[in-house]
Structure 1
Amino acid sequence: MFAVSAVRIDPKDPLSGLELGERDEPAPRAGWTAVTVKAAALNHHDLWTLRGVGITEDKLPMILGCDGAGVDDDGNEVIIHSVIDPRDGKPSILTEAYDGTFAQKVLVPKANLVPKPAALSWEQAACLPTAWLTAYRMLFRNSGLRPGDTVLIQGAGGGVATAAIVLARAAGFRVWTTSRSEEKRARAVELGAHAAFASGARLPERVDAVMETVGAATWSHSVKSLRPEGTIVISGATSGAMPPAELTRIFFLQLRIVGSTMGSLDELKALARLCEATDVRPVVDSVLPLSEARTGFARMEQGEAFGKIVFTL
């Protein structure tokens, strides 16, 4: 079967380790099912894998792709929850210990399948399991926000950030966001942000919570933008993970720092129901055939995307 794999680790030139070509179809496994993939979304996690983060050379080659939607062995249209719990070991996500969704077929536990809402296209459905699920948990489980509160979403344009903008607006929050790009700021407002500011800009007032996925480049701004006893929810650090700690401000203003990773199977089901019951839809930057995956990876690496890059089969 055709697949996109990581075959080599190179922190400085990650795309040099990307291989497009034939791989064996997954072998049957008790309690698991093969899903014929219709669409799969690209995540920064796939780039980090090529850089050697969360994986070692002995696990290669590894088929990439955390997000996917397709048809299972019984003919059901499904979305794949990518967190694999082996019951007898450490949970991991696809591409860490198990081959991912950038292939014609992917093998996953039957318990990891969620019915695809008919209202969503394959491309939209494929966006939900990682970035959109991450944003859902950040906002609705970990932020402490209530309707009417103000949330700052750093780095408009990224998959989690665009998801957070749409979901936060739908939930009745006042939504502010930042970006270095004037074009991305304008598009964020079109998505539903009430205001968009240049990265690092002084805000009109302090916010109740910050959704932080950028890391070193925005951390100080996130801390300084937060009201006393406010919350920063962190789910990533795409610009680097070692910013100044700002410890004095954190303890003096009694700020709350919460880590957030992915989301549960039940949360993915709830997110799918939310999309089915409302006009909330994932933001798709571009759709490419899987055979052109290298173009999508390059677009993400260069920071050009606004929303999710999706591969179709």
Structure 2
Amino acid sequence: MRAAYASKFDDDNPLAALAVGDRPEPVPPGDDWVTVEVRASSLNHHDLWSLRGVGLGAGQLPMILGCDAAGIDDRGNEVVVYPVVPTPADPRGMSILSEHHQGTFAERVAVPRANLVPKPAELSFADAACLPTAWLTAYRMLTTKGRVDEAEAVLVQGAGGGVATAAVVLALALGKRVYATSRDAAKRDRIAELGATALEPGARLPERVGVVIETVGAATFDHSLKSAAAGARIVVSGATAGHEPKVNLRRVFAMQLEILGTSMGSAAELADLLALCRDRSVRPVIDSVHGFSAVEQAFARLHSGAVFGKVVLDHTR
């Protein structure tokens, strides 16, 4: 079957480590696993890090890339693949597809049957394929960790990337006032079109917020602290611009702030996210859709840093 996979590692030029070609059909390792025919998948920065060799060893190559997918299961059901797999060999006790188990950038992928979540008919395969990693992370940040139902306003740092853009859309769908920052003027225009108040990084907000979504790190963390209302939750799922920020602990205890880390979410949360998208007509922000025959172009688009939303692969073409 055709697949996109890491054939080697290249930290300086990860695109040079990407290979596209025939790979063996997936072999489910147990009776509780099933093979899914992939109709659509979406890219994450995790895929670029894999090509750089982060989280993979040479002994795991070649590794089919991809965490996110939607498709058809062995019973003919339309499903979304939850990408977190129990993995005793991993120190975390789990891994996501394309780490210890072959990923979703292929015609077919093997996953535990428990990882299949029904796809609402109202969502296309392309829409559904955007949700399991970035959008699920944003949903968990807002709901389970951020308790956004207790807040009136949300700040999203570094909107434009997959998680941050998802957080903007979801917070708006949940009825919150949303402020979002970006260094890029064009991305600020796109943020405003979504319905949020777009700001330059570090700009003073008209109010303090109850939830801050942090995926940037050191470059924005002081602003996040200063923008948080008393008792606010600052939820962190990334550190693209520095992982060792200076933290004013006096502000943390005086304002009784909560700094919470999170990553991904549960299969039940993915089901809740799908229901929210169905019931409130929420659709993922898609930067571009590429046929699987143009997978190299999709990776180049993600690597460019110019994306706004998700980069999607259509496996039917």
TM-score bin, normalised by smaller chain: over 0.9
Counterpart of 1:295 in structure 2 is 297
CA contact (8 A) 2:7 2:63 kept: yes
CA contact (8 A) 2:63 2:98 kept: yes
C-alpha distance in 2 between matches for 1:80 and 1:127: 11
Q: CA deviation at 1:147?
A: 6.1
2:132 corresponds to 1:124 = no
Identity %: 55
Q: CA deviation at 1:253?
A: 3.1
Q: CA deviation at 1:148?
A: 5.6
Q: Could you give the per-residue CA deviations for residues 170-194 of structure 1, whole angstroms, max 9, x where no partner exists? A: 111110000111111111121121x
C-alpha distance in 2 between matches for 1:182 and 1:218: 17
Stretches of 4+ aligned residues off by more than 4 angstroms: 86-89
Q: Could you give the per-residue CA deviations for residues 31-87 of structure 1, whole angstroms, max 9, x where no partner exists? A: 111111000000111112122222222212111100000011111111000001247
Counterpart of 2:60 in structure 1 is 59
C-alpha distance in 2 between matches for 1:245 and 1:309: 34
CA pair 214-305 structure 1, distance change in 2 beyond 3 A? same
| Unpaired stretches in structure 2, ≥5 consecutive residues | none
Residue of structure 1 aligned with 2:266, choices 255, 264, 289:
264
C-alpha distance in 1 between matches for 2:67 and 2:240: 17
Q: CA deviation at 1:248?
A: 4.2
**Which AA in structure 2 matches 1:53?**
V
Higher deviation after alignment, 224-233 or 159-168: 224-233
TM-score (norm. length: structure 1):
0.94
CA contact (8 A) 2:156 2:168 kept: yes
C-alpha distance in 2 between matches for 1:133 and 1:49: 20
| RMSD (Å) for aligned C-alpha atoms | 1.7
CA pair 219-302 structure 1, distance change in 2 beyond 3 A? farther
Aligned pairs (5 A) from 1:1-313: 1-29=1-29, 30-86=31-87, 90-146=93-149, 149-193=152-196, 195-313=197-315
Q: CA deviation at 1:291?
A: 2.3
CA contact (8 A) 2:142 2:211 kept: no
C-alpha distance in 2 between matches for 1:11 and 1:284: 27
**Which AA in structure 2 matches 1:172?**
G
CA contact (8 A) 2:80 2:129 kept: yes
CA contact (8 A) 1:67 1:127 kept: yes
**Which AA in structure 2 matches 1:10?**
D
Higher deviation after alignment, 152-161 or 294-303: 294-303
**Which AA in structure 2 matches 1:18?**
L
CA contact (8 A) 1:213 1:236 kept: yes
TM-score (norm. length: structure 2):
0.93
Secondary structure at 1:155's aligned position in 2? coil
C-alpha distance in 2 between matches for 1:199 and 1:273: 33
CA pair 279-290 structure 1, distance change in 2 beyond 3 A? same
CA pair 240-295 structure 1, distance change in 2 beyond 3 A? farther
Secondary structure at 1:217's aligned position in 2? helix
C-alpha distance in 2 between matches for 1:299 and 1:109: 31
C-alpha distance in 1 between matches for 2:62 and 2:88: 25
Higher deviation after alignment, 207-216 or 245-254: 245-254
**Which AA in structure 1 matches 2:309?**
G
C-alpha distance in 2 between matches for 1:28 and 1:256: 42
